[in-house]
Amino acid sequence: MASIGGADAPRERSRELTRALTRVVLTGSESVGKTTLGAQLAARFGVACVPEFVRDYAAAKGAPLDFRDHGPIAKGQMALEDANIAAATARGDALLLQDTDLVSTVVYCHHYFGRCPEFIEQAAIARRPTHYLLLDIDVPWIADGIRDRGEQRDEVQALFRETLARFDAPVTVVRGKWDERLATAAALIDVLLDTHRHG
């Protein structure tokens, strides 16, 4: 695979750091409860949940994102992930949760602009976690001042499914009421951790 951004070293460091970690990424369309479920799981397992970089980036910009923003967003997301991976590894944690990753950047690039920079797609593939939890859209969409595509949830969710399949990413769909989602996600993480320990 070609180097990402002209250098393979950061990718190799990321792979080395994540080898001892089970990384689980919550992903999916807007307003499916990623942040809420991430916080619940972090509390349940006593670990960190990496926040979503783009939310603060978009709030700080104070204007609609354009195609040129996706490079800085991707680099900011990777830096945030790497800092949390290093911290989790230093603590000896077995698990790290993430409230989204570069797959979301890829999906929304294609959704808004019909294309995505190659280095972002390559990075998303190279940095695949242990498992994705794809949160389904069977919960109400709630506006928050940043979300803007409530009427297109089906289309966006389909893009998430297609992108994860195209990247050959391990994924489980999580649906149902909020307590059912927590139970499903926690049970799967228990299995992943047990597999990692005995693998």
- The whole-number average pLDDT for the span 165-193 is 96
159, two tokens: 């893009």
* Domain count for the chain: 1
Residue 15 lies in a domain: no
Comparing CA positions, the residue from 23, 24, 32 lying closest to residue 157 is: 32
Q: Which domain holds residue 147?
A: 20-198
Q: Is the pLDDT of residue 190 over 90?
A: yes
Residue carrying the six token digits 């994705």: 132
Q: Quote the Cα angle for 80-183-160, to 5°.
A: 50
The predicted pLDDT at position 68 comes to 93
Comparing CA positions, the residue from 146, 180, 175 lying closest to residue 52 is: 146
Residue 10 lies in a domain: no
pLDDT digits (tens, 9 = 90+) for 53-98: 998 898 898 888 899 999 999 999 999 999 999 999 999 999 999 9
Q: Is the pLDDT of residue 141 over 70?
A: no
Residue 99 lies in a domain: yes
Residue 143 lies in a domain: yes
Residue 7 lies in a domain: no
- The whole-number average pLDDT for the span 19-26 is 90
Q: Is the pLDDT of residue 11 over 60?
A: no
Residue 6 lies in a domain: no
Which CATH number do you get for residue 120?
Answer: 3.40.50.300
Give the separation between CA 185 and CA 193, rounded to whole angstroms. 12
The predicted pLDDT at position 9 comes to 46
Residue 132 lies in a domain: yes
CB atoms within 10 A of CB 114: 8
The predicted pLDDT at position 31 comes to 83
The predicted pLDDT at position 197 comes to 82
Residue 11 lies in a domain: no
CB atoms within 10 A of CB 185: 22
